[in-house]
A and B are shown apart, each in its own frame.
Chain A
Amino acid sequence: MVSVEKILEKHDFDIEGGNFNKAGTVSTRIKSILKHRQLPDEIVRRSAIVCYEAEINIVSYAKKGVISLTVIPDKIIIEANDEGPGIPNIELAMQQGYSTANQQIREMGFGAGMGLYNIKTYSDVFDITSEVNKGTFLKMAINLI
């Protein structure tokens, strides 16, 4: 647990499953919050990528979810918690090129099976747990020091 006095920034954002009109709005918000803190551009960019991939996953697959941003002096923590179908085989889902995206998602340019792999690439710490028919929980950290 992070002690309260160390938290510089803490925000929770609700994500609506299936609503592609709003998809990406939370990532845009989070990016602007981090920019305001005058963090280095590359750190802000990596955080935004991680957040966007997680947000698109929730919109694409889950009923609903929450993305939380926590900034403490030495790292940015992004958590994505959803209520949805879950991932039966995480190892498989992590592989580049593996995707269960439907036609609608693919028409928008997604579903190449890069999302989770990309999140892992851009995070310093990446944790994923999932329960079928319950949901998926992602925790990513990006080090500031």
Chain B
Amino acid sequence: MKLREVKEILDANVIVGEEKLDMEVKTAFGADLMSDVLAFAKAGSLLLTGLTNTQVIRIANVLDIAAIILVRGKKPPMEALELAKDLHIPILTTKYILFETAGRLYTRGIVGCLEKVEK
């Protein structure tokens, strides 16, 4: 689906990347543990998280994450926002909790970027 649809499903605000709402997304990964995001998130996926520091943006860049969805109504600090603009990474913020965000996207066809870990 298009990022625009993700925005609608989650009743989200687009903080960065209004011009990228026509981007296609199919998969997502959700975690607040960046160590695990680095280990498991796949290129082109949405990243669902409640962390808002600049490292989240750096990691999204490193991993070729399509867009960051901040859950629980989190707002990024100014320096994270500026970095996301520089690196052209869209940030959406939704008031839904992580579980609800994932569930709402899943029922509409977004799947995990992997189903389970190998061990």
Which residues of B are found within 8 Å of A115, using beta-carbon distances? 35, 38
Query: Please, how many residues of chain B have a CB less than 8 angstroms from a CB on the other chain?
Result: 22
The secondary-structure label for the interface of chain A is helix
Q: Which residue of B35, B53, B56, B62 contacts A31 across the interface (Cβ within 8 Å)? A: B62
Q: Which residue of A23, A27, A112 contacts B33 across the interface (Cβ within 8 Å)? A: A112
Q: Is A109 a contact partner of B64 (Cβ separation < 8 A)? A: no
The total of interchain contacts (Cβ-Cβ below 8 angstroms) comes to 71
Q: Is A112 a contact partner of B36 (Cβ separation < 8 A)? A: yes
Of B38, B62, B64, B79, chain A has the most CB atoms within 10 Å of the CB of: B62
Q: Which residue of B39, B59, B62, B79 contacts A114 across the interface (Cβ within 8 Å)? A: B39
Q: For the complex, what is the distance from the CA of A28 to the CA of B62, rounded to whole Å?
A: 7
Asked if B34 lies at the interface with its beta carbon under 8 angstroms from chain A, I say yes
Shortest B65–chain A CB gap in Å is 10
Q: A interface, how many residues as a size bin?
A: 20 to 34
Q: For the complex, what is the distance from the CA of A45 to the CA of B54, rounded to whole Å?
A: 19
Asked if A85 lies at the interface with its beta carbon under 8 angstroms from chain B, I say no
Shortest A100–chain B CB gap in Å is 13
Interface residues of A in 10-28 (CB under 8 A from B): 20-21, 23-25, 27-28
Q: Is A24 a contact partner of B38 (Cβ separation < 8 A)? A: no
Which residues of A are found within 8 Å of B64, using beta-carbon distances? 41, 45
Q: For the complex, what is the distance from the CA of A52 to the CA of B79, rounded to whole Å?
A: 19
Q: Is B62 a contact partner of A23 (Cβ separation < 8 A)? A: no
- Encode contact with A along B45-58: 1 for CB under 8 Å, 0 otherwise: 00000010111101
Asked if A53 lies at the interface with its beta carbon under 8 angstroms from chain B, I say yes
Q: Is A110 a contact partner of B43 (Cβ separation < 8 A)? A: no
Asked if B11 lies at the interface with its beta carbon under 8 angstroms from chain A, I say no
Q: Is B43 a contact partner of A118 (Cβ separation < 8 A)? A: no
Q: For the complex, what is the distance from the CA of A23 to the CA of B39, rounded to whole Å?
A: 18
Which residues of B are found within 8 Å of A51, using beta-carbon distances? 62
Q: For the complex, what is the distance from the CA of A12 to the CA of B35, rounded to whole Å?
A: 25
Q: Is B32 a contact partner of A109 (Cβ separation < 8 A)? A: yes
Which residues of A are found within 8 Å of B35, using beta-carbon distances? 109-115, 118
Seen from chain A, the residues whose Cβ lies within 8 Å of a Cβ on chain B are 20-21, 23-25, 27-28, 31, 41-42, 45, 48-49, 51-53, 56, 108-115, 117-118, 121
18 pairs, A vs B, C-beta closer than 8 Å:
A23-B58, A24-B55, A27-B58, A28-B61, A28-B87, A31-B62, A41-B43, A42-B43, A45-B62, A49-B38, A49-B62, A49-B63, A56-B55, A108-B55, A109-B53, A109-B55, A110-B34, A112-B33
